[in-house]
Structure 1
Amino acid sequence: MASKESTSSYSQFACIGAGFSGIALGVTLKRWYGITDIRFFERHSDLGGTWYANKYPGAACDVPSVLYSYSFEPNPNWSRVLPSQEELWKYQKHVADKYDLPSKMTFGVEVQKCQWIEQHKRWVLDVRDCKTGTTFRHECRFLFAGSGILVTPREIDIPGSEDFKGSIFHTSQWRSDVDVEGKNVVVIGNGCTAAQIVPSVVDKTKHLTQIVRAKHWMLPPIDGVYTDYMKSIFKYLPGTMMIQRLLIFLFAEIELKAVPMTTSAAKFRQKRRAYAEKFMRDTAPAKYHDLLIPDFEIGCKRRIYDSGYLASLHSKNLTLTNERALKIVENGVETERGFVEADVIVLANGFSTNTFLEGVEVVGRDETLTQHWDSFGGAEAYNCSAMSGFPNFFMILGPNATTGHTSAIMAIENSVNFALRILKPVLGSPNGVIELDRDAEERYVNRIQDDLSKTVWNSGCQSWYIQPHSENSRVWNAMVYPYSQGYLWYRSLFPVWRDWKITGRTRNWKSVLRLLLKTLGQEKGCMRLSAQLHS
């Protein structure tokens, strides 16, 4: 039985997670308000989140580095357009060290429960040490969830994994102690991750069999190396990185033209589809075209930028199959038409989606977060960040925050900036509370879901964007933002204050000045009245 400490620690702010989201929060708090009283709780043994955990061969970002980085911390020294996992993690570490954030991070712990205590106007967190099992409590005034959206590996839906005598693991839990050299390897899945792993390991294996479970539209790579000359320009010529970032953002925004289910968007998708199909047919072996090329709208699923995957399918020691895996046995995988021998099985079957803060019980004023979302029909949040009934609580990269065609870091900054603007009126008050109005939340969420229903993401393909649903239930999409990130940035600049309930507001210099002038006015009035009485 796990032991429990009786005392509680305290910080003004607390954040679940220490990846890109948590680091952005810590830096922005310090830059904007000079606040350093924050504590981060991270389940991994170091900071970085996704880019610490995912260390599989070929792991890299598919968004250009100049856009997949903080606007407040440009990096002129990126080695290439699409940075590797290692380079991204080093960038995160650099930013965190620069603002002295690691000293405020607790690693190897899991937040199990967060509960709002109305009497004290605080959140109480139950935190468990992953190694010892010891639990302790931490209290804070303002709670942020920055644990990401693709975190929990999807459970394998093939029976028998416990009988396998070789090594079996999910891509996000890649075992560096397992050598695939000269081994029979089976990769289950063919999404973005598998498309990076297969070309990185196929030449080392004795034989690699990839079991295809779905089809994806693939596009030519947009990668390239930054030369020393280019790095010097970015470093010494002011404004060049900002211009590059803006141009890449605008270029990425072109993809939004494919999103609406309109006649003009359909024409744009048709052109993109023809372009992608030609690339796939020209690059992949003809015998695999039927297994790879989709029959659904381009854009319905997240596109894959091919980093050598299609070309690697020409390898003589590689087999691509769409045979359904029936059972994992001690020495391989039984399929519907045969058997595939395996020494190593790699699960590239993705992550749990349309779920947020999985494994954490969040208890607000009158209900849990799960109950709150059930009342709507799925995970949701006002401006992708806040829910009614959960005071002083914000999500970073929450429901509907990201857009598949552009950088998640933009969405993170938008979420952080919005939340810290909303919290400004209560930051200096010991008991300040800010809470979203339920009606405002309902209006926002209904608009988001209605607009998503008119997009290509909801056009009918089997996609992780869509929450599993019955035939007659509402199609729920909690994974993507139906508009431009530029619009979310704009909404984050100008909070709609009538949508919020604020108590214990900080008296800033303007309110203090108004009170002083009012008091002086009353004193002058009293003096005039006294003079009149004595005249």
Structure 2
Amino acid sequence: MLGEMKICVIGGGLSGICAAVKLKTKLGVNEFTIFDENEDFGGVWLTHTYPKCACDVSTQIYSFSFVPNPDWTKLFPKQPEVLAYLQSIAKKHDLYKNSRFNRQIQTLTWISKAKQWKVVSLNKETGTTEDWSFDIVIAGPGPFHVPYIPEKFKNFAGPVIHSARWDSSVSLKDKMVAVVGSGSAACQIIPGIVNDVKTLYSFQRRPAWVFYKFQADIPHLARAAVRNVPLLQGSARAVAATLYDVGFQFHSKNSVIHAVGAALCKANILRGVGRLNEKLYKKLVPNYPLGCKRICISNSYYPALARPHVDVIREEVVSVSPEGYISTSDGTTRHVDVIICATGYEQMTTHWFNPVKIFVKEDEIEEGDGIDVTKGLRQDPNFYLGIMTDTLPNMFFIYGPYSLIPHFSAVFCIEYQMNWIVTVLKRMRKMVAGKLERNRDQYQNVVVCVKESAQTDDVRNVRDKMKNTIHGGSVPCNAWNVDKTTGQNLTTFSGAAKDFWWKCRRVRFQDLEFNLTPATHPGCRGVLILLVKFTTLTLKRNDSSEMGVRSGLHKSHLTEEDNPSPTESPILMPFGYVVVLEYQDAFSSKGSTIRCLRPYALVLAKRSQVWPFCANFNSLVRTKGVAKLTSVVSLELIFYWSL
């Protein structure tokens, strides 16, 4: 039963807390373990403690539907208040007993034979590693957990503070301080420290678009009304969500709302710096479209930049000396005592899953780590709904690639995805229960994976619709969520929040592959018959495209004997076939072969050549570094049944 299966939850922030609560309340599952590298729940709201750190989404939609918070004191709550809310949820649902803090996940290895994930964690307190085994992994580490500090600033011998790892022991009083960056963190840090520092240099090559922040205290009477009047909080939440979702138009090309938004931001600059300060105004007007980077909100950022002891520098930083001399491209050198990097997070292609490595092995006793799929997933993170990928069975992601909605609340998106995951887990439990009723000793495990075709269609659909937004095509603003090599946006969902909700509201089970697997205990016996039929299939196109592979494996290339119909060979259909492919290695330029097994007779082939859930050439490219597919060597048919 699913309630008895062991589930690993990675992350103790918004995603991890939501996952844990849903597992307990919707599924009645208690056998789960939450891993987090920090010392408590909270995620970014635990680690981000810089001055003036606050939420830039209004309180009405920055809370879970299952734990509404009527006690917010401000329209845009500050960091301590958000952290207290999240930790109160963990206490209310008794999540601390399931938690393992100060644990950094190092490797995740799918063991095909056991149908389990082997998890290796580093205990940061003791410095020792720990081995765990789980049936299901729910990964919610979030995209904002690997701080990015440009190499040139690491030369400085003095204090270098990243906004995500604020060091409150460093005094800024009467110091010359450089703030590098112009995103959400910089918009909050600069007003927070401007009164303390002697001189503040704001280095920003690409200034942000900033809306005016209508901050307000929520009076006791309003809080009491929300707490006691039925439906009032829910109604306010629905209205706020609707208004926020209109903000999707700020990301649409050539729309009237997009033009109005840009005008409002420019008016905010004039309000903050004054109409007479034309030089500063021109420095602060972005040279890229509204919405290309995250839109900030602040009512104190521009007035802080207009202070006499603040200097805004648009020129590129060329070098930083150990003594604190910062040289820019215009030949100017400035001396600083402290450098604050509000430079965001690692580029998407390097920080997805970082520092975790993901492997696939047939058997735990097999030598070596197995097939490393991490690099391929980072370079081409094709995810279905931002939740699943065809190369990783029984693993679910929250807030993964192509699921971030920049104009909306992350809380909503996380809850949409977790509701989808819960529905899939319910189906898995139902399948296991049904088999146990007929044969209690025969089936225990169930494996689920998204079909590669469904995944490809979903990603293609997101990318096609993205062309109508400011995020599509070549993005000129060098945003953190854009691959610096391809220019492809790897994180953003291409529609409104209501569109994402619509996609996640129900599970298209036809897009998933479920497989009930025999239990691995000694009471389960099996017989394997392997029939190999050799045939040579040459591709119509000698290229590495998906179409080339599809043409090479097209049904017309096989004889009826090699490709039996379901009526002639019904036992083949549930257990699939093996295709042996010849390809050119992208790294060594040598010819190699690999077995691509489809769909679930994965552990039955030769151990050293197994590639689980390899559905087509796209998977090979992502995982094996294939430069060119040359031919299909053979087709191997697999039969299997258990006694």
Pairwise TM-score range, normalised by the shorter structure: 0.7 to 0.9
* Paired amino acid for 2:268: F
Match of 1:362 in 2: 358
Contact 1:382 1:444 in 2 (8 A): yes
Looking at structure 1, the residues matched to 309 and 5 of structure 2 have their Cα atoms a distance apart, in angstroms, of 56
Residue in 2 aligned with 1:195?
187
Q: Which runs of 5+ in 1 are unaligned?
A: 1-9, 507-535
1:351 aligns with 345
Other-structure match for 2:405? 403
Could you tell me whether the CA contact under 8 Å between 1:426 and 1:505 is conserved in 2? no
8 Å Cα contact 2:149-2:341 kept in structure 1: no
* Alignment CA distance shift 1:251-1:27 (3 Å): same
With over 3 angstroms needed to count, the CA separation of the structure-2 counterparts of 1:231 and 1:104, relative to structure 1, is same
The answer on whether the counterparts of 1:465 and 1:480 sit within 8 Å (CA) in structure 2 is no
Q: Which amino acid aligns with 2:482?
A: Q
Q: Write the distance in 1 (CA, Å) between the matches of 2:420 and 2:299.
A: 35
Aligned residues: 487
171-180 or 285-294, larger mean C-alpha shift: 285-294
Closer/same/farther in 2, CA of residues 259 and 330 from structure 1, 3 Å limit: closer
Larger RCO of the pair (alpha carbons < 8 Å, separation 6+): 1
Shift of residue 163 of structure 1?
Answer: 4.4
CA–CA separation in structure 2 for the residues paired with 1:18 and 1:469: 30
Match of residue 468 from structure 2: 454
Deviation of 1:365 (Å): 6.6
Aligned residue among 444, 468, 471 for 2:483: 468
Partner in structure 1 of residue 13 of structure 2: 19
Amino acid aligned to 1:13: I
Equivalent residue, structure 1, for 2:504: 492
- Native 8 Å contact 1:465 1:478 kept in 2: no
User: Does the 8 Å contact 2:393/2:449 carry over to 1?
Assistant: yes
When the two chains are superposed, the root-mean-square deviation of aligned CA atoms in Å is 2.0
Shift of 1:167: 1.4
Q: 1:276, CA displacement in angstroms?
A: 1.5
**Aligned match for 1:277, one of 266, 269, 286:** 266
In structure 2, the residue matched to 1:89 is: 83
Q: What is the CA distance between 1:466 and its match in structure 2?
A: 4.7
* Structure 1 residue 449, shift from structure 2 partner: 1.3
Q: Structure 2: state its 5+ residue gaps.
A: 363-370, 433-443, 519-643
2:320: which partner in 1? 328
Where 1:431 maps in the other structure, the secondary structure is strand
Deviations for 1:167-212, whole angstroms, at most 9, x for unmatched residues? 1121111111111112221111111101100101110112211112
Percent identical residues: 24
1:98-131 CA distance string (max 9 Å, x none): 0000111111111110011122111100111123
Counterpart Cα distance in 2 of 1:158 and 1:76: 46
Q: Is the 8 A contact 1:63 1:407 kept in 2?
A: yes
Q: Distance in 2 between matches of 1:33 and 1:300?
A: 40
* Displacement of 1:483: 1.3
TM (norm. structure 2) is 0.73
2:215 is equivalent to residue 223 of structure 1: yes
Secondary structure at the aligned position of 1:504 is classed as strand
Displacement of 1:233 in angstroms is 0.5
Task: Give distance in 1, aligned partners of 2:428 and 2:210.
Answer: 48
Aligned partner (choices 276, 285, 288) of residue 293 of structure 1? 285
| Paired amino acid for 2:187 | A
The change in CA–CA distance for 1:151 and 1:15 in structure 2 (over 3 A counts) is same
Cα 1:279/1:19, change in 2 over 3 Å: same
Compare 489-498 and 72-81 and name the one that shifted more. Answer: 489-498
Q: Distance in 1 between matches of 2:517 and 2:88?
A: 36
The ranges of structure 1 where at least 4 consecutive aligned residues each deviate by more than 6 angstroms after the TM superposition are none
CA distance in 2, matches of 1:460, 1:120: 44
Letter in 2 for 1:49: G
**Partner of 1:48 in structure 2?**
42
3-state SS of the aligned residue for 2:61?
Answer: coil
The answer (yes or no) to whether the contact 1:325–1:333 under 8 Å persists in 2 is no
The CA distance in 1 between the partners of 2:493 and 2:264, in whole Å, is 25
What do the CA deviations read for 1:420-459 (whole angstroms, capped 9, x no partner)?
Answer: 1112122363311111111111111111112112211236
Distance 1:204 1:486, change over 3 A: same
Q: How far apart are the structure 2 equivalents of 1:232 and 1:466?
A: 41
Give the structure 1 partner of residue 377 of structure 2: 373
- Native 8 Å contact 1:280 1:310 kept in 2: yes
Superposed CA deviations along residues 128-168 of structure 1, whole A, max 9, x for unmatched, are 11233200101111101110011111131325x3442x311
Contact 1:465 1:479 in 2 (8 A): no
Aligned pair partner of 2:233 in 234, 241, 247 = 241
Q: Does 1:306 align with 2:298?
A: yes
Amino acid at match of 2:471: W
- Partners in 1 of 2:210 and 2:407 — Cα distance? 13
**Would you say the 8 A contact 2:201–2:312 is kept in 1?**
yes
Alpha-carbon distance between aligned partners in 2 of 1:144 and 1:477, rounded to the nearest angstrom: 24
2:203 pairs with 1:214? no
The aligned residue for residue 495 of structure 2 is 483
Amino acid aligned to 2:424:
I
2:119 to 122, 125, 133: 125
Deviation sequence 1:349-398 (CA, Å, 0-9, x none): 11114242111112247954435436xx6223101100112111000111
Distance change in 2, residues 1:56/1:278 (3 Å): same
The answer to whether the 8 A contact 2:110-2:360 is kept is: yes
